């Protein structure tokens, strides 16, 4: 019989008679308790069921408590969430919710090389010894879900967030191979020299006028353009889309580090009420950036379809995203993976190289004796210009510049702490068994600079800017080179390592051939660092002067 409206009306009328209109929580508890009373079959089953549920959860809880006690016995550090939160608070809640280098420095100084803390029932274990970090990088190849919470704008399918415990990392490996086509190919490595020289020639002549240059601000657009041209085949600051990308991406970088923190800095009703609107503005910016990225990908798809010959040998990101196939011959990058890859490469390639360039310029200005040695080495290349560009191989020969780049990253860690997880099995790191499912923090900034832990690998003068520590064949230099983890290590090591090296070397060859970099005020205090979107940016902008060389 078909269901008619009058049947439905009758049903509703009947159920309204059966069910009291309102149940207070006390009613619900009384009714539930009544179910267990008496000796009828229903009550007996209810009691048995409840006993089974209690036994199950009791067992789970007991196992959890034993597991927790075991970790607390094995690894020093705060034993409870409350003690951990007090440490976050001490490290400054207003600076990335206290989850920063100060937190880990405090904990390692207090408890030693391995330290744990508890957040929401989960252990976080930090390592500050270079050998331990090497083991973590090799053995713990997963990334915790916290990474995605901290960088949601990269897209759910971003390489950083892909699980590795289901397939042993096979999917991550295959994505990394696709990215290698885009950023490790000899074509992109040579192209980056040309683009650096062209961009700097065109856009930085005013740097040599003697006026102080706010290097962080000025390099911002230049770095976006260099990356845009080489990886995405388009200059961004001169293009309408690009300008929006730059603005939105910067907003998201800064927003990821500060979202919701105004309340911690100043607890006022206005700041509290602002939180939902800040959140929706942040979400709208994510949508905007990802939308532009998708339009760019679709535009390239159209161009490739219309004129396949033109794009035949092209290995830039957008072309690879629309052309790569899997083993079955189907498109490798679906919409979400393509967007997450585009945004991921944009983020990975921009922020890191921008910040590293700024800190190296600062360090060379602060240490003229090192700058002189870098210049002497660069001068040995002759006078490269746009018609006579140094090859990638030639730039690789600049060993002292290479050491200066490492030393600058060591002292002002671009990425001060890593995020790894062991989701397949327990792993042994040094003397510690890290239980399966732990969030592991390789604290590279501490490992490279903390006077308690770093001298074993880098010598006693770890606070000094001394590139020589990485030079030559001495056992000390080999040890220092092996202990350097500025680009991570193992299976998940930075995919853009060679690209960054090529870009940084080209930038410094260009500038140091022409200028001596100086501090406008040599007595000014050293600039502080701010942990922002995973990188150590300068807390305040500073200026440098570029004096034309005689
Ligand atoms: C000075 C510049 C750079 C520094 C210091 C740096 C540092 C790092 C670090 C520390 C990691 C984590 C590695 C790990 O967990 O072991 C990483 C990952 C990554 N980097 Fe870089 N990076 C730089 C430049 C670049 C560039 C230019 C690109 C792209 C062209 C890039 C793309 C990536 C990607 C895609 C990952 C994720 C790899 C994965 O999860 O498997 N990076 N980078």
Give the model's pLDDT for residue 14. 52
User: Do 422 and 436 meet the contact criterion of CB atoms below 8 Å apart?
Assistant: yes
Atom of ligand 1 nearest to the CA of 176: 41
Place of tokens 């090529």: 502
Q: Is the CB of 441 under 6 A from ligand 1?
A: no
Q: Is the CB of 350 under 6 A from ligand 1?
A: no
Ligand 1: residue of 494, 499, 534 to mutate (most ligand atoms within 8 A of CB) is 494
* CA of 497 relative to ligand 1 center, distance in Å: 7
Host H or E run for residue 8: helix 5-18
Please state, in angstroms and rounded to a whole number, the distance separating the CA atoms of residues 500 and 165: 30
Nearest CA to ligand 1 atom 14: 488
Nearest CA to ligand 1 atom 27: 349
Q: Is the CB of 341 under 6 A from ligand 1?
A: no
Give the model's pLDDT for residue 7. 56
Please state, in angstroms and rounded to a whole number, the distance separating the CA atoms of residues 319 and 310: 11
Atom of ligand 1 nearest to the CA of 415: 10
Ligand 1: residue of 487, 503, 536 to mutate (most ligand atoms within 8 A of CB) is 487
The pair of structure tokens assigned to 469 is 């520590």
User: Do 405 and 504 meet the contact criterion of CB atoms below 8 Å apart?
Assistant: yes
User: Do 348 and 488 meet the contact criterion of CB atoms below 8 Å apart?
Assistant: no
The pair of structure tokens assigned to 295 is 């339009």
Give the model's pLDDT for residue 237. 65
> Mind listing the pLDDT tens digit for each residue in 54-102?
999 999 999 999 999 999 999 999 999 999 999 999 998 777 778 889 9
Ligand 1: residue of 173, 360, 496, 502 to mutate (most ligand atoms within 8 A of CB) is 496
Q: CA-CA-CA-CA torsion for 367, 370, 375, 380, nearest 10 degrees?
A: 180
Residues in the chain where the model's pLDDT stays below 70 = 1-23, 235-239, 257-265
Please state, in angstroms and rounded to a whole number, the distance separating the CA atoms of residues 118 and 75: 12
Give the model's pLDDT for residue 260. 67
Q: Is the dihedral of CA 40, 41, 46, 49 positive or negative?
A: positive
Give the model's pLDDT for residue 1. 44
Instruction: For Cα atoms 84, 90, 96, give the angle at the middle one, nearest 5 degrees.
Output: 85
Neighbour-count burial of 165, counting CB atoms closer than 10 A to its CB (0-12 exposed, 13-18 middle, 19+ buried): middle
Please state, in angstroms and rounded to a whole number, the distance separating the CA atoms of residues 444 and 126: 10
Host H or E run for residue 406: helix 399-411
Q: Is the CB of 446 under 6 A from ligand 1?
A: no
Q: Is the CB of 489 under 6 A from ligand 1?
A: yes
Distances (CA, A) of 516 to 119, 200, 379, 459, 509: 49, 16, 13, 29, 12
The pair of structure tokens assigned to 138 is 């090799």
How far is Cα of residue 335 from the mean position of the Cα atoms in its chain? 22
Atom of ligand 1 nearest to the CA of 179: 35
Please state, in angstroms and rounded to a whole number, the distance separating the CA atoms of residues 381 and 200: 19
Please state, in angstroms and rounded to a whole number, the distance separating the CA atoms of residues 397 and 502: 11
């Amino acid at each position: 019989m078909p269901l008619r409206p009058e049947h439905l009306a009758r049903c509703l009328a009947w159920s309204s008679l059966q069910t009291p209109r309102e149940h207070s929580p006390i009613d619900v508890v009384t009714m539930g308790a009544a179910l267990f009373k008496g000796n009828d079959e229903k009550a007996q089953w209810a009691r048995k069921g409840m006993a089974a549920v209690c036994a199950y959860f009791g067992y789970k809880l007991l196992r959890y408590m034993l597991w927790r006690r075991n970790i607390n016995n094995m690894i020093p550090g705060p034993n409870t969430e409350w003690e951990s939160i007090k440490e976050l608070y001490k490290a400054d809640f207003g600076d990335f919710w206290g989850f920063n280098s100060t937190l880990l420095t405090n904990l390692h100084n207090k408890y030693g090389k391995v330290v744990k803390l508890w957040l929401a029932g989960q252990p976080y274990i930090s390592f500050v010894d270079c050998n331990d970090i090497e083991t973590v990088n090799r053995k713990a190849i997963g990334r915790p879900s916290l990474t995605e919470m901290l960088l949601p704008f990269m897209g759910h399918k971003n390489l950083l967030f892909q699980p590795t415990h289901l397939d042993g990392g096979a999917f991550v490996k295959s994505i990394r191979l696709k990215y290698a086509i885009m950023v490790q190919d000899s074509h992109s490595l040579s192209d980056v020299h040309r683009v650096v020289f062209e961009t700097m020639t065109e856009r930085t002549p005013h740097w040599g006028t003697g006026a102080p240059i706010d290097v962080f601000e000025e390099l911002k657009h230049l770095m976006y353009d260099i990356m845009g041209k080489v990886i995405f085949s388009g200059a961004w600051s001169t293009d309408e889309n690009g300008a929006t990308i730059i603005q939105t991406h910067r907003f998201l970088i800064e927003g990821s580090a500060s979202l919701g923190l105004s309340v911690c800095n100043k607890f006022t009703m206005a700041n509290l009420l602002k939180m939902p609107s800040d959140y929706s503005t942040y979400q709208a910016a994510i949508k905007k950036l990802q939308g532009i990225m998708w339009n760019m990908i679709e535009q390239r798809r159209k161009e490739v379809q219309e004129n396949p010959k033109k794009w035949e040998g092209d290995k830039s990101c957008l072309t690879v995203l629309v052309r790569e196939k899997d083993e079955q011959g189907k498109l490798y990058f679906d919409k979400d993976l393509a967007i997450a890859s585009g945004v991921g490469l944009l983020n990975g390639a921009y922020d890191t190289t921008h910040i590293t360039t700024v800190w190296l310029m600062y360090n060379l200005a602060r240490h003229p004796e090192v700058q002189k040695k870098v210049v002497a080495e660069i001068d040995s290349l002759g006078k490269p210009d746009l018609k006579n560009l140094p090859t990638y191989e030639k730039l690789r020969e600049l060993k002292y510049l290479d050491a200066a780049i490492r030393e600058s990253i060591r002292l002002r860690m671009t990425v001060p702490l890593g995020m790894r997880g062991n989701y397949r099995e327990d792993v042994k790191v040094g003397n510690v068994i890290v239980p399966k499912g732990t969030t592991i923090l390789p604290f590279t900034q501490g490992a490279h600079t903390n006077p308690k832990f770093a001298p074993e690998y880098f010598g006693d003068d770890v606070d000094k800017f001394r590139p020589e520590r990485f030079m030559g064949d001495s056992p000390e230099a080999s040890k220092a080179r092996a202990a350097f983890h500025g680009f991570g290590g193992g299976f998940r090591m930075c995919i853009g390592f060679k690209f960054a090296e090529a870009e940084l070397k080209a930038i410094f060859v260009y500038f140091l051939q022409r200028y001596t970099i100086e501090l406008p005020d040599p007595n000014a205090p050293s600039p502080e660092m701010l942990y922002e979107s995973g990188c150590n940016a300068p807390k305040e902008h500073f200026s440098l002067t570029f004096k034309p060389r005689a």
